[in-house]
Amino acid sequence: MGGFPTLAKGNALAARAKSPKAGIVFSKPTVLGLIGTCSGNLSRVADSIGANRDSVRRFVDRDPELQQALRDSRERLIDEVEQSVFQRAVESNDTALQCFVLKTQGRHRGWDQSEAQNTAKDIATAAFDFILNKSKNPAESAKQVDVT
């Protein structure tokens, strides 16, 4: 993943961000580079140049190229997180994570499970249980049969 500038206690970047300088002039190349370095986190961009986050946001909002760079950087970050989740799902025995990945990323292969499919599965399971166990009809279990 892209490395964020460290904001540990005593760090010069953090100190500059705590006391932004009035009238700081942003240069487009600087902000553009920091957007990539900071993975689209505008607070970290602002910290890096000693500016207020809102000022950086307004600066980015006025420039279509910076807006696109911000979107691209955030998309790359999401791609990296997805890759990390995929890798962890493959390497681990975490079936919940594996099911999550399949249901979200494998929909086009039939892993999408809607509520209707859950209901159909429940009905099929009850019918199968009825046939195998020759138990009472599950629909009749709600009725009380009075045998006197």
Q: What is the C-alpha to C-alpha distance for residues 123 and 14, in angstroms, rounded to an integer?
A: 59
Give the torsion sign (CA, 98, 101, 105, 110).
Answer: positive
Whether 2 has a pLDDT exceeding 70, the answer reads: no
Q: Which residues have CB under 8 Å from 57's CB, separation 6+?
A: 42
Whether 22 has a pLDDT exceeding 70, the answer reads: no
Q: Give the CA radius of gyration of the chain.
A: 28
Q: For 44-83, write each residue's pLDDT tens digit.
A: 999 999 999 999 999 999 999 999 999 999 999 999 998 9
What are the DSSP E strand ranges found in the chain?
none
pTM of the model: 0.56
| DSSP, residue by residue, 44-82 | HHHHHHT--HHHHHHHHHT-HHHHHHHHHHHHHHHHHHH
**Secondary structure of residue 91 in the 3-state scheme:** helix
Whether 20 has a pLDDT exceeding 70, the answer reads: no
User: What pLDDT sits at residue 15?
Assistant: 52
